[in-house]
Structure formats: C-alpha cells, structure tokens
Amino acid sequence: MNMALPVGQQSKVVRDPDWWRGAVIYQIYPRSYQDSNADGIGDLAGIIHRLPYVASLGVDAIWISPFFTSPMLDFGYDVSDYRDIDPMFGTLGDFDALVTRAHELGIRIMIDLVLSHTSDQHNWFAESRASHDNPRANWYVWADAKPDGTPPTNWLSIFGGSAWQWDSERQQYYLHNFLASQPDLNFHEPKVQDALLDVARFWLERGVDGFRLDTINFYFHDAQLRDNPPLAPEDRNATIAPEVNPYNFQNHKYDKNQPENLVFLERFRALMEEYQDIAAVGEIGDAQYGLELMGQYTEGTKRMHMCYSFDFLAPTPVTGNRAAKILQDFTQIAAESWSCWAFSNHDVMRHASRWNLSEPAIRLHLALILALRGSVCLYQGEELGLTEAYVAYEDLQDPYGKQFWPRYKGRDGCRTPMPWTTDSPNAGFSEVKPWLPVAMEHLPYAVTAQEANEASVLNFYRTMVAFRGMRKALSKGLLTMLDASDEVLAFTRTLDGEAPIFCAFNFSETAQTVQLPGGDWAEIKGLGFTSERQGATITLPPFQAFFAEN
C-alpha cells in the first residue's frame, strides 16, 4: 500500500504523560550546533535559530548537552553553577526563549543534568575543602591517606590514573571519577541530595520537559571504601578507549552502582511527578552491569522513566544475531524496563565510521533503530550521514584524547561543528574560526546540499521518523522475534487496536530471503527500500529493509 508521509510536528506541545515512551529525541551538543554571536562557539540563540530545522525532522524532543556556568575543562560536564547559563552560551532569558519557541513548534526540551560531580570551582567545593567542620565539609567524598600516604582505595578515574586527588588545603584525598577538577559529591549526605533536588526544581519551574541524567550510576560510592576487585581480561569491554584505559581492568563493584542509589532515584521521580508530563532518561556508564542496572533503575513507576543504553554504542558492528541478542538480553534481564537506544552521541566515534557503513547501510541501520521497542536518541549530524571527522593533534580540545594520544584520539571527531551550508564560511556554523575546525569532508553533507535532494539521507531520516510517528505499534508496541542470523533480522511489532507491523532487515552485501508469518500482509511502500515478493517469501537486496502491515 502507498501512503503519504507528513514531515514536521504538530503546532504546539500537547498534554501527554506518556509522550516519552517511544519518543525520538534529538541530541544537540550546543558548542557545535550554531554560533549566533561570532565567537566561534555555538549557543542557545543559535539553537533557537535552527529550531524550525529540528521541527522539520519530526522529532519529539531535544536533549541539550550541558550549558551551565563552567570552567569548561570537560566542556560543560564540570558545573560551577547549576542555576545559571555560561556566558558563552547566553543567558537565562535565552533559555526561556528557547523553551517557549520549542514548545510553539511541538518540541519538548530535556536538559543534561550532571549531578554526580561538580567543578572544583563550584562554591560548594571551595567551602568543603576549607576545613573539616564547615557546613559543607561532608558534601564531597573526602578520605584520609593510607599510612604510607597513598590513596584510600585502588579506585581508578575514567580519565586515567587514580580516582583520588590529594588536597593540600584540607590535607585529605577527594574522589573524582573523572577529571581531578571534577570532585564527586557525597550522596550519603542528605543535604547534598536536597540541594540537587532543588536544582532540578529550579529548571522544572523554568518549563523543561525532562532530564538526561549524566552518569546516573556514579551517584553513590561504597561508604566503607573497599577496594575494587580485578576484572578478568576476557570480561573487559567498554565503549570508550577500551584498549588504552586501565579503568577497564577493574570490576567496579564499590566506586559506583551502589544500592542506596535506588532511594535517591525514587526521590527524584517523586519531584518530577509534581509537574505535568515530565520524563527522565538516565545514562548508565557501566560495561559489565548495564542491563542489570537498567532493570533496577527503571523498575515500576517510582524510579527513572527510561535508561540510556550503551549496547549499540560499542565498536562491535550490528548484525541480525547481535541485535537479536541485545533485545533478548534486555527482555530477560530488564523485562519491565524501557530503553532509550542510540547509535551515536558526543562520547563515541560516529557510527557511520565506527562500523564503516555505506550510505545504504546507514539507511538500513536507521530503519532498524526506529523499529525497535524503546525510545530513540539521534545525535546531531547523524541525520546527514556524517562520518567521524579527523582532528589534528594541534586542534585537539578533549582532555581524554590528549591523555591517551595517539592510541586514542579522543571525542573531538564526533563534536566538530554542524555543516549547514556549502557556500558560507565555516559551513554556516560561524563567521569566525570555530572552537573545533569544520571537517572539510563534511561539506558535501551540508544541510543545504541535502535539502535540495529528495533522495538524500536527511530526507530519508525525515521520512522514517514520520513513519514511526504514524505507527503506534512501532513506538509503543511489543516486539516478537521471528528470524535472526548474522545476515538477517525479522520481527513483528504489535499493539492492541493497531495493525501489526512486520519488519525485516538485510545486513549483508548479498541478497537474502525472509518469510512472512501467516496472514494477509501488505507492503508499506514509500520508505525508499526495494524488495521482491513471491507469496510469503521476501527477497531483500543488500542493505535493504522491508515493512508490511496486516
């Protein structure tokens, strides 16, 4: 059957407490989206300027990476003031205008809250380090040195080296799971929890529709400060720099993933329930216990709405078998959970390069992720088919890349500026030299070049997002696996009151066949895929998908 596919959103955000379930969320890394004031750095006014473009993608919400006041040693993930906007991004007035305009266009706004740690330039830390008995002395994780002067535990930092930093002023070590300039807050202190809930309330009062909670499983540490056990080499895996970082040598049993976290998540959810239509997605940074934690953190209706899955952010390419196993494991381990799937984000190599995808394969992978049960995060530029950019060492900004160069080149390659035009300075991102160079290889993928081409990757993204939005069985229904091999994946999506949808994918470079289940299936046409059908047998050319409804 043929169908017309609308592009874009409803005119305004409408009431829907279940909007997040199956939503398509577009991640914006504000430094690299649009510069409005010619300083080489993207800002909130730039995002406002580009909101009509975002609306044209048909997405339900925007997740904006941190824009709070910060010394920017980790580019906003080191917050020095939770209640204000860093001047490089604008003002609170700009943020209010952004929320208002987004809501007019039918787009919800989710902000990235970094609660596990602050910048060492935060006033809280300045007071905490000043003495052992001030009102905030216990707001961060402090511990005495061992008798020989070494750190209290063997815990490691994700950015390399010990997770403990000696502070000469307080004469103790403080915990930092990331940079030494990012001290961890002490969630065992009730006043810390109260202060962070007040931060969330501040932004809820300004009209945000939800939160992406950074490193949600890092909130609590083991109060007994026990050493982590080693991790067997065969069990080591990670999405970021697994081959260079000794962080992956440990089983992180005590420096994160603590059971006390569940109580705080319930407090956070209770706060959100005081407001209408609010949702949160938690980022679980754990290569060993991710699915188990997802199940715990989203169980029932008193914790997180959904958790951000790392399964498809790994270097391992997607095959039918791998996708089926991820879905099967998720169903078995986190049966009552709701996942938020992603292929790319600001921390990993863009998936077009990570999996060495051709343009047909990029289209196939989008069709897959939009057909999965769960919500979906798309990362800016993904809709253009952008590859990982080359960034020379002298242009490198990421502290992680500088630490492990040249074996690991950091995260700047996925953070380069958005290419808007082919005929403007810096691809229309900025009138001056950007904070990271515009990738010359990205210019042919610019928005203006793709807008004019009906068959472009950009327009394909719009078509597929609209398709998902028109079929509630895709966004909210059950998934039943029918066939899985390295080459092929096939399943159905079903929802009471909706037509069942059959979905099939060929991940190989050769033609493959799949069988339709019993019933009168009509192909859904107009999506840009090709196939041949003989009765119940569907022949899929390389990197093609097939959709039908009954």
Domain boundaries of the chain, sorted by first residue: 24-120+188-469, 476-549
What's the whole-number mean pLDDT along residues 220-238? 91
Q: Which fold has domain 24-120+188-469?
A: TIM Barrel (3.20.20)
What's the whole-number mean pLDDT along residues 379-397? 96
Peptide bond into 406 cis (omega under 30): yes
| Of the candidates 48, 59, 54, the residue with the CA atom closest to the CA atom of residue 20 | 59
Architecture of the domain whose range is 476-549: Sandwich (2.60)
CA 433 to CA 425: how far, in whole Å?
9
Give the tokens for residue 37.
């004031």
- Quick one: how far is CA 480 from the chain centroid? 26
Digit-coded pLDDT (tens) for 35-80: 999 999 999 999 999 999 999 999 999 999 999 999 999 999 999 9
Give the tokens for residue 121.
């330039």
pLDDT at residue 407 greater than cutoff 90:
no
Task: Specify the pLDDT at position 239.
Answer: 62
What's the whole-number mean pLDDT along residues 227-248? 80
Digit-coded pLDDT (tens) for 159-216: 889 999 999 999 999 999 999 999 999 999 999 999 999 999 999 999 999 999 999 9
Q: Which residues are catalytic?
A: 214, 274
- pTM of this prediction? 0.95
E-strand stretches of 301-417:
306-308, 339-342, 375-379
Digit-coded pLDDT (tens) for 306-363: 998 788 999 999 999 999 999 999 999 888 889 999 999 999 999 999 999 999 999 9
Tell me the three-class secondary structure of 490-519, residue by residue: EEEEECCCCCCEEEEEECCCCCEEEECCCC
Task: Specify the pLDDT at position 4.
Answer: 38
CA 181 to CA 175: how far, in whole Å?
10
Q: Are 344 and 350 in contact (CB under 8 A)?
A: yes
Residue 236 pLDDT class (50, 70, 90 cuts)? confident
CA 490 to CA 241: how far, in whole Å?
32
Any idea what the Cα angle at residue 178 is, between residues 149 and 249, rounded to 5°? 75
Digit-coded pLDDT (tens) for 455-495: 999 999 999 999 999 999 999 999 999 999 999 999 999 99
Give the tokens for residue 346.
């600001």
